């Protein structure tokens, strides 16, 4: 019989002792027919100065033009606007939560299972929920706090998204790096770390890890994407050692794999960890994967709309945290996202996502071609020697360059931080040093290059300046580029 993970045993002391909001815990009771409520200190909606919010779509966007070519306008008014402007449920506007819940259920092939229902706990299944947040960064921070106490361990793929490292550090927990390759997180390195945890001198005095964090699609910064087989292998290790997996997947719908091969609404996408968790659930159970999605790269970064999906215990913990901090995700931005999703429907959203993915694929092709010409072998610039290597990204908006740097006493492969923060800046070119993505402030010869925003006519100029910077560094070291 399957044994699901004991989430309660993994909760942090802060989560176990945080009291629920005395007001917000009673909000659902206001919906009982006939209820007379003196409960919440909500402002009277008649005092709100807005009557309508009108959104004008770009005519060339999905569903953005009328038959006469004029742009489509979407109105948010009446009860929908009042809902957006008023205090609302902690997990998000109910219509948005329902839209997203139905969407992820369909996209990932997981039936909706409510807590305490007949299916909860049957044949390895477990209840799951969804909460909206002010971007997935907000939700990640609350999720880490939900499970990590001071001295606890979180395993993170190396390189790791830099935004999570301060979150773990501020909890006085420790991020331990696990090696990655061209497909991201390595299952054999994860297994090696967990199997030898109690005997390895470096880890034997530490607590056993509670979770592993990974960005499986278009990883920031490495640009790596895990195949279906790779995900199965990683998930098997997670299940065997009964730890949580935080699946941070903001680029899932921006994958280039299969792009253009069939309609956007039907093309096959690599199954998520959250979807694959159902395989062998009768033997291994479910509830180990907490998934994070984001609208930042698909709709707008400024909307700050993300959503977490996973075990009810963890989703509830995130919501209790929200209720005692920022109360709820911002209503107007939720309303904008909901209006767009209702206008597009599922198919329109996927069509829009593929259109965005195509934009970034074209940008990648252009940027990578320039990198090859200027930093690669047989370059006609400078010495002409290859001074960078990389793995071609198949999702996202980053190129993770391994620079050929002069060695130093502290780092045989060199340190990109000193190069970028001093020499490159003086030459009017910037990239993000790889040390930003290494737990423990380690040295790195890598830099993250973003190709999402740089104007096309500046790509070659910037790369030429980077090459000049590298060659100057070798010259100052009194060494020849090998």
Indicate if the pLDDT at residue 247 is higher than 70.
yes
- Res 382: pLDDT: 63
Query: Please, which pLDDT band fits residue 443 given cuts at 50, 70 and 90?
Result: confident
Rounded to the nearest integer, the mean pLDDT of the chain is 93
Of residues 143 and 119, which shows the higher confidence score? 143
What is the C-alpha separation between 131 and 308, in angstroms, rounded?
6
- Res 383: pLDDT: 64
- Res 334: pLDDT: 98
Query: Please, which pLDDT band fits residue 1 given cuts at 50, 70 and 90?
Result: very low
What is the C-alpha separation between 313 and 277, in angstroms, rounded?
17
Is residue 223 within 8 Å of 391, Cβ to Cβ? yes
> What mean pLDDT comes out for the span 380-385?
71
Query: Please, which pLDDT band fits residue 3 given cuts at 50, 70 and 90?
Result: low
DSSP state letter for 24: G
Which fold is adopted by the domain 357-476?
Answer: 3.90.1150
With a CB cutoff of 8 Å and minimum separation 6, the contacts of 403 are 387, 388, 414, 416, 419, 445, 446, 447, 470
Q: List the chain domain ranges.
A: 40-87, 88-350, 357-476
pLDDT, tens only, 54-107? 999 999 999 999 999 999 999 999 999 999 999 999 999 999 999 999 999 999
What is the C-alpha separation between 130 and 292, in angstroms, rounded?
10
Is residue 449 within 8 Å of 222, Cβ to Cβ? no
- Do the bridges between strand 52-56 and strand 73-77 make them parallel or antiparallel, or are there none, so unpaired? antiparallel
Indicate if the pLDDT at residue 266 is higher than 90.
no
- Domain 88-350, classified CATH 3.20.20.70, yes or no: no
What is the C-alpha separation between 111 and 209, in angstroms, rounded?
30
Torsion of CA 90, 91, 93, 99, to 10 degrees: -170
Does the model's pTM come out above 0.75? yes
Query: Please, which pLDDT band fits residue 2 given cuts at 50, 70 and 90?
Result: low
The answer to whether the Cα torsion of 178, 270, 100, 295 is positive or negative is: positive
Token pair recorded at residue 414: 């060199």
Query: Please, which pLDDT band fits residue 25 given cuts at 50, 70 and 90?
Result: confident
pLDDT, tens only, 458-482? 999 999 999 999 999 999 999 998 8
- Res 380: pLDDT: 67
What is the C-alpha separation between 470 and 481, in angstroms, rounded?
9
C-alpha count within 13 angstroms, C-beta hemisphere, residue 240: 13
């Amino acid at each position: 019989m399957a044994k699901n993970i004991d989430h309660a045993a993994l909760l942090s002391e802060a989560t176990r002792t945080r009291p629920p909001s005395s007001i917000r815990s009673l909000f659902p009771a206001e919906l009982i027919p006939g209820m007379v409520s003196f409960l919440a200190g909500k402002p009277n909606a008649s005092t709100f100065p807005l009557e309508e919010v009108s959104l004008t779509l770009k005519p060339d966007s999905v569903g953005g033009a009328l038959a006469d070519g004029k742009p489509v306008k979407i109105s948010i008014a009446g009860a929908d606007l009042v809902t957006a402007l008023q205090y609302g449920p902690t997990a998000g506007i109910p219509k948005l939560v329902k839209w997203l819940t139905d969407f992820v259920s369909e996209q990932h092939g997981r039936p909706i299972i409510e807590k305490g229902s007949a299916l909860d706990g049957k044949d390895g299944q477990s209840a799951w929920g969804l909460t909206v947040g002010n971007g997935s960064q907000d939700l990640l921070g609350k999720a880490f706090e939900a499970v990590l106490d001071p001295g606890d361990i979180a395993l993170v793929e190396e390189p790791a998204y830099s935004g999570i490292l301060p979150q773990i550090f501020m909890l006085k927990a420790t991020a331990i790096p696990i090696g990655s390759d061209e497909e991201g997180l390595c299952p054999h390195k994860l297994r090696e770390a967990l199997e030898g945890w109690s005997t390895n001198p470096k880890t034997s005095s530490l607590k056993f890890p509670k979770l592993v964090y990974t960005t499986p699609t278009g990883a920031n910064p490495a640009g790596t994407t895990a195949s279906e087989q790779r995900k199965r292998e990683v998930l098997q290790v997670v299940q065997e050692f009964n730890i949580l997996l935080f699946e941070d997947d903001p680029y899932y719908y921006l994958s280039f794999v299969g792009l253009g091969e069939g309609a956007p609404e039907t093309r096959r996408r690599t199954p998520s960890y959250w979807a694959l968790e159902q395989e062998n659930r009768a033997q291994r159970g479910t509830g180990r994967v907490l998934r994070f999605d984001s609208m930042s790269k698909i709709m707008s970064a400024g909307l700050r709309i993300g959503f977490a999906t996973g075990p009810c215990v963890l989703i509830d913990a995130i919501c209790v945290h929200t209720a005692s901090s920022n109360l709820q995700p911002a209503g107007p931005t939720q309303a904008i996202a909901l209006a767009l999703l209702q206008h597009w429907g599922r198919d329109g959203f996927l069509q829009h996502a593929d259109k965005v993915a195509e934009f970034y694929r074209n940008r990648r092709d252009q940027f990578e071609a320039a990198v090859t010409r200027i930093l690669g072998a047989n370059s006609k610039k400078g010495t002409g020697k290859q001074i960078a290597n990389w793995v071609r990204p198949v999702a996202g908006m980053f190129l993770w360059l391994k620079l050929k740097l002069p060695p130093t006493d502290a780092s045989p492969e060199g340190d990109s931080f000193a190069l970028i923060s001093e020499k490159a800046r003086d030459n009017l070119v910037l990239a993000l040093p790889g040390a930003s993505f290494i737990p423990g402030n380690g040295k790195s010869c890598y830099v993250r290059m973003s190709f999402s925003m740089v104007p096309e006519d500046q790509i070659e100029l910037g790369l030429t300046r980077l090459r000049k910077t590298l060659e100057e560094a070798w010259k100052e070291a009194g060494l020849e580029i090998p």
